[in-house]
Chain A
Amino acid sequence: METTVQQFPPFREGEAHPAHDDHGHGEPHEHHEPGFWSKYIFSTDHKIIGIQYGMTALFFMLFGFFLMILMRWQIAHPGQPVPLLGPLLEKILGQPAAGGAISPDLYNSFGAMHGTIMVFLGVVPLAFAAFGNYVVPLMIGAPDMCFPRVNMASYHAFFLGGVVMFVSFFIPGGAAQAGWTSYSPLATTIPTNGQAFWLVGMILLITSSLLGAVNFIATIIQLRAPGMTWMRLPWFVWTQFVTAFLLLLAFPPLEAAGLLQLMDNVAHTSFFLPTGLAIGGHLANISGGGSPLLWQHLFWFLGHPEVYVLILPGMGIVAEIIANNTRKPLWGYKSLVYAVLAVGFLSFIVWAHHMYMTGMGQKIATFFQATTMIISIPSVIILTCLFLSLWGGSIRINTPMLFALGWLPMFGIGGLTGLPLGLAAADLYLHDTYYVIAHFHYVVAPGTIFALFAGIYFWFPKMTGRKMNEFWGRVHFWCSLVFMNLVFMPMFAQGIKGMLRRMSDGGVNYSAARVPNAIDTLPGSVMELNHWIFAAAVALGIAQIPFIINLFWSIKHGEKVGDNPWHATTLDWQTATPPPHGNFAHEPRVVRGPYEYSMPGHAEDFTPQNEPDAPTAPKFSPAPAAH
């Protein structure tokens, strides 16, 4: 599968278009085989870049998962040395892991980095950058992204950001410890350079996302193949389009805020440090005059659109897989398009529902509560359309479809449990409890990550020409579904019972056993759940092993399949496997919508978007002759 990777597009676009030869470009030019570095490391081909993003993101997700397992151990067995890995931790990290146990500071750094890594180094690069880069140009019939070199720069900025974040674990003082939200003044007063590393890493990651967003939007606007009108785009492309806009316009204020916090940390400014701040009992030697709330506003201005960045590409993947495996068009395509545009637009004006507990007045709280409730409407419209798409379908069960079907109720639970959090009165009680953790993990973990698994199983044959093993795929699905629910469902109960977030001792100092005469302590049942959650988390981790093995084993030994094994209608499946340099041998001409499955009068139960109308085909095929 040697594909020549062209580094720089030729300049001669202004000349008349010569007839296409099999290479797909008009002029003969030298075909020198690029070396390893140009082909795999400094590639400008969107498919390679997509796989680079995917592999890096999966590595970081595994690392983030591992941090979580360590945290869950500490929560279930506070202060006790980690079995098996304790001595190794002590060797690598030194004092914070003294005796192989996780100290509170170390726990905090694991917590902050688990969130940061999963969101910015795991899900966003996988959902948006990896799948988007690989699939979107193919789906719209383009030869590559609009700006291939910017694409390459965007991956390398991401990679550098990841390196900075990873390295921060090993500096004196350790990694960032002020949560993935990095609130000031804590983020400025913690005595570690890890916070500065976090900020530098974030600036690199944000730059990467911005470059990527520009590329995606320009590509979708400018490089759609002839006949690919906006309303013929597969819905996955719409979700990526809106996601790109969210990244483009919501990330920069956080980049600005990150710069300001970095100056607070390094240049002793007081952007977010109030007058009269005391640290360790002494007045801090700062100019004062800053506002901690300013950080929160600038952070959550991104933070809320960010969660839609996390979910929208996943929704798009699920939609494609559902259409394909029900052999019928999506229900309510137009509603889906307008709903996703509405979600994108509204997501910019709901952010302060993360700040109900900051002493807001009633008017502003009501405003944000109203917009938050309103945004649930298009979200529900999307979920409803996807559910209704199953109705009357000829449902085909395979691993991608299982993950897509599993996504539906999981996202339902995640989304619905968000409603009490959006209502200010209920949020007063639930804020910063485990209820919040359960809510957002349901949306992202058995939500988005299931969608991403579905996407990997689905598009694997297009990337490699082989299917992943179906049996182990189903094992992966069922085990993940069961254990994800066992991990996160109890957290709703814990949160309602009052267990707070970010407690490195797992709540034991607030438990009925420790302080029996205090009111409203955490009952033994809640504390007991910590053990079950830890066991389920370990089982969840074990359940990923077949997936990892399947992924790598199937590259060389999976069942060989043709160019369109799922019999899909979208353009990404109407080209060779893997797609060649330039993606399509001849520029596709789109003549129909994206989900023409089971159309009456056609021999096949699917009609690709670029299949021309047969001019003399009869309206109804004659009945097959009886034998």
Chain B
Amino acid sequence: MDIPYTIKPRPDTGIYNAKVGIWLFLASEVMLFGGLFSAYVLLRVGASDGFWPHGWLNVKLGTLNTLILALSAITTLLAWAACKVGEFGKFKIFHACTLLLALSFLCVKMYEYHDKWIHYEIKLNDGTFADGHMVENDPAKDYLVIEGRIVKDESLLYDLRSQKNIPHDEIKIARADIKSKENYGPWHHTYLAIYFTLTGLHALHILGGSIVIGYLWGPGSRMYKRNPEQFTNRIEVSGLFWHFVDLVWIFLFPVLYLT
């Protein structure tokens, strides 16, 4: 039993089946990330004055990731173009680059997540706030060491953009002085919550896309010999997914890092 139009396009629509399928799926993904972006907008618009943070994310790393992903989108397209003109060797090179770039993206992201994980806001008993990265936290000792600063006004911890030359000193804090401490995980602030959720879901999509492209690059590339047209279609369809993931980042980066 053959399902028609798997490879050759249907005359009246002009598309083959998998392409229809992937665009429909991407439409649903637009609504998925759209729902999350709507949540972001609502939470931000509804936040009280001074509550929404600015400057909590490293713009340099974000820019690096943006360029990495944009480049991977290019190599993805070129991998498909190479298949289309029958240059299997070049296809392999281009998609190898795609996979390496994807891996780099995820590494940068993991570094960023780790950076938040070890960043603590410590409420002290005297009503001040210590804020910085945990340098030493030996449970046997009665103190911990952070690299950051101590502030009286908590709102100073939110708008980092408007402050110049934020001190980064090593500060030793006795455990007896600590009222509570919390690291910059999603539970710490709704901004971080939506940041981790948006970038986390996006990273899962990068991972999923990488697995699919990895499979097509590796064991799946056997199909090229048997049925190059259908294989090229698969590369195109997976490429469209990858471009969509890049598209999401194009909005994620400015919304989370730059505004």
Contact = CB atoms under 8 A, between A and B. Distances in A.
A and B touch in the complex (CB under 8 A): yes
Given A144-B1, A252-B28, A289-B51, 4 more contacts: A9-B2, A13-B8, A294-B42, A298-B38
Given A253-B31, A270-B190, A143 B197 contact: no
A93 interface: no
Interface of A: 6, 9-14, 24-26, 142-144, 146-148, 150, 210, 213-215, 217-218, 221-223, 248-257, 259-260, 263, 267-271, 286-291, 293-294, 297-298, 301, 581-582
Contacts of B111: none
Contacts of A10: 2
B201 interface: yes
Interface string B8-49: 101001010110110011011101111110110011001100
Contacts of A297: 38, 42
Given A218-B24, A253-B38, A269 B190 contact: yes
A536 B29 CA distance: 45
Contacts of B100: none
Given A289-B190, A290-B190, A14 B8 contact: yes
Interface in B173-191: 185-190
A218 to B, nearest CB: 5
A256 B32 contact: yes
Nearest to A250: B31
A213 B24 contact: yes
A269 B187 contact: yes
Contacts of B46: 291
B193 interface: yes
A259 B13 contact: no
A431 B98 CA distance: 54
Contacts of A25: 1-2
B247 interface: no
Interface string B219-247: 00001001101100000000000000000
A253 B30 CA distance: 10
A26 B2 contact: yes
12 contacts: A13-B2, A14-B8, A14-B227, A14-B230, A214-B24, A223-B3, A252-B29, A254-B35, A256-B32, A289-B47, A294-B39, A582-B1
Closest 7 CB pairs of A and B: A253-B35, A256-B35, A252-B32, A582-B1, A269-B193, A252-B31, A289-B190
Contacts of B4: 13, 143, 222-223
Q: Which of B2, B21, B36, B197 is the most central at the interface, judged by chain A CB atoms within 10 Å of its CB?
A: B2
Contacts of A222: 4-5, 10, 13, 15, 17, 20
A31 to B, nearest CB: 12
A221 B38 CA distance: 31
A289 B43 contact: yes
A289 B42 contact: no
B159 to A, nearest CB: 15
B32 A290 contact: no
Contacts of B186: 263, 267-269
B96 to A, nearest CB: 25
Contact of A298 (B28, B35, B230): B35
Interface string B51-93: 1000000000000000000000000000000000000000000
Contacts of B39: 256-257, 260, 271, 294, 298
Contact of B189 (A147, A215, A289): A289
Given A269-B190, A287-B193, A289-B47, A210 B35 contact: no
Contacts of A221: 13, 20
B17 A147 contact: yes
B51 to A, nearest CB: 6
Contacts of B190: 269-271, 287-290
B6 interface: yes
Please classify how large the interface on chain B is, using the bins under 10, 10 to 19, 20 to 34, 35 or more: 35 or more
Binding site secondary structure of chain A: helix
A11 B227 contact: yes
User: Taking each of A217, A222, A290, A291, which has the highest tally of chain B beta carbons within 10 Å of its own beta carbon?
Assistant: A222
A14 B3 CA distance: 11
B212 interface: no
Contact of A271 (B7, B8, B193): B193
Label chain B's interface by main secondary structure. helix
Contacts of A269: 186-187, 190, 193, 197
B197 A263 contact: yes
B1 A291 contact: no
Contacts of A301: 35
Given A6-B1, A248-B28, A268 B187 contact: yes
Nearest to B8: A14
Contacts of A254: 35
A289 B190 CA distance: 6
Contacts of B3: 9, 13, 142-144, 146, 148, 223
B194 interface: yes
Contacts of A257: 35, 39
A484 to B, nearest CB: 35
Contacts of B24: 213-214, 217-218, 248
Given A218-B21, A581-B1, A287 B189 contact: yes
B41 to A, nearest CB: 10
A423 B114 CA distance: 52
A318 to B, nearest CB: 27
Nearest to B187: A268
Contacts of B13: 221-222
A271 B36 CA distance: 11
A355 to B, nearest CB: 14
A146 B20 CA distance: 10
Contacts of B21: 146-147, 150, 214-215, 218
A438 B15 CA distance: 46
B20 A218 contact: yes
B193 A11 contact: no
A214 B25 contact: yes
Contacts of B42: 291, 293-294, 297
A271 B39 CA distance: 8
B59 to A, nearest CB: 23
Contacts of B29: 252
Given A270-B193, A286-B187, A291-B42, A214 B227 contact: no
Nearest to A288: B190
A582 B4 CA distance: 12
A24 B1 contact: yes
Nearest to B191: A289
A268 to B, nearest CB: 4
Contacts of A26: 2
B193 A13 contact: no
Given A269-B193, A271-B194, A294-B39, A11 B223 contact: yes
A284 to B, nearest CB: 12
B76 to A, nearest CB: 22
Contacts of A271: 39, 43, 190, 193-194
